[in-house]
Chain A
Amino acid sequence: DAKTTQPPSMDCAEGRAANLPCNHSTISGNEYVYWYRQIHSQGPQYIIHGLKNNETNEMASLIITEDRKSSTLILPHATLRDTAVYYCIAASSNTGKLIFGQGTTLQVKP
């Protein structure tokens, strides 16, 4: 599975959009980009995933660059409850294995 690189931490003001970047320059053609988040002492929560097209759901939007070497997770209106560690993972659906990096700790501030 391709390695991903994320900034270790970010701050965001409550009510503003949170844009979390992820670099996956070695991603292969059959690997999807998955985003999960983990709130303290809980299991990871699925947010969104995509292959090459931009995706949007009720939680977030995922913007994938045309060359697929990077992506951005957008939380349109961050709330205090969005404070968590956000993981970007590039993985093939064939194996199903998710290899977690260190993620980005997002702190939403009032």
Chain B
Amino acid sequence: GAVVSQHPSWVICKSGTSVKIECRSLDFQATTMFWYRQFPKQSLMLMATSNEGSKATYEQGVEKDKFLINHASLTLSTLTVTSAHPEDSSFYICSANRGGNQPQHFGDGTRLSIL
């Protein structure tokens, strides 16, 4: 069964609104979670590393004020797309790491459409 849950699975909203996406590890504690974005017919692009209890680490070119990440507990990280515009429309995916050399497990993704 799924070990990482992502919610919502899809969302449509108007330009200028903010959208929050949740990522939960279901049966383990994750000190680190990751957020990816995927455009159609492209590969996953790592956006940021979410660290429990501290600030997220963003990849080069990703606007930290645009994509707010909060990792307030060991089982929950949230990604908020602020003042979303049509170019932010994409497939957003999170993953969680059990630690050590254990593999990351991914959520089922959130399809975001900004009108």
Contacts and interface: CB of A to CB of B under 8 A. Distances in A.
Interface of A: 32, 34, 36, 38, 41-46, 49, 51, 87, 93, 96-103
Interface of B: 4, 6, 32, 34, 36, 43-46, 49, 91, 93, 95, 97, 100-101, 103-109, 111
10 shortest interchain CB distances as A-B pairs: A43-B106, A93-B101, A100-B44, A46-B103, A100-B43, A96-B97, A44-B106, A43-B109, A43-B108, A43-B93
A93 B104 CA distance: 10
Contacts of A34: 103
A107 B6 CA distance: 28
Task: Specify the main secondary structure of chain B where it touches its partner.
Answer: strand
B108 A102 contact: no
A42 B97 contact: no
Secondary structure of the A side of the interface? loop
Nearest to B110: A43
A98 B6 CA distance: 19
A41 B46 contact: no
